[in-house]
Amino acid sequence: MNQATPQASPQPQALPLRWKPSVTVAAIVEKAGRYLLIEEHTPEGLKLNNPAGHLDPGESLAEACARECLEETAHPLQVTSLVGIYQSRFQREAKNGHAAEDITYLRFAFTGELGPAIEGQALDEGILRVIWLSLEEVRASVSQHRSPLVLQCIEDHARGQRLALNAIYTDASVWRA
């Protein structure tokens, strides 16, 4: 009688690491035909950007946008609407002591009412200055933009693109410890 040779159980496969895009927010603010931008130090040199940054734990997207605007411009922002949701990919080769990077950004751009600058409010590290540029100046400075999303968000805002804030739902679990 032939007995079948027992088959070894397959080894469990390690699950691949979950891919996670980097969630960011941006403030798109226009006043008298000019758009609020910041000039900041980056590994690629001085670049122009919308006041923008990463979503932090324990805050909604709109709260993150208001915080980033204050930190980067010294102006409080009351967020009133969503301009759009954007996705881009940033790739950087390793150089000058910086590791290679391949990051997909998921950006939520908001607009709102900008308050007056808060006296004595320091700007985030790396922010050189706050500037206001016309749409034409923003278009003409594309080579200085930190991301292709800088212009796209402003173009959408200039076209009047707005979504109600209730298009984004934030569950109360976000604020629980």
- Asked: is 22-115+124-167 a CATH 3.40.50.11900 domain? The reply is no
Q: Which two tokens stand for residue 173?
A: 């679990």
Report how many helices (DSSP H) and strands (DSSP E) the chain contains, helices first.
3, 8
The whole-model pTM stands at 0.87
The owner of tokens 């076209």 is 159
Domain boundaries in the chain? 22-115+124-167
Per-residue pLDDT of the chain (177 residues; tens, 9 = 90+): 555 555 666 666 777 788 899 999 999 999 999 999 999 999 889 999 999 999 999 999 999 999 999 999 999 999 999 999 999 999 888 887 878 888 899 999 999 999 999 999 999 999 999 999 999 999 999 999 999 999 999 999 999 999 999 999 999 999 987
Task: Mark 50-78 as b/e (b = at least 16 C-beta within 10 Å).
Answer: bbbbebeeebbbbbbbbbbbbbbbbbbbe
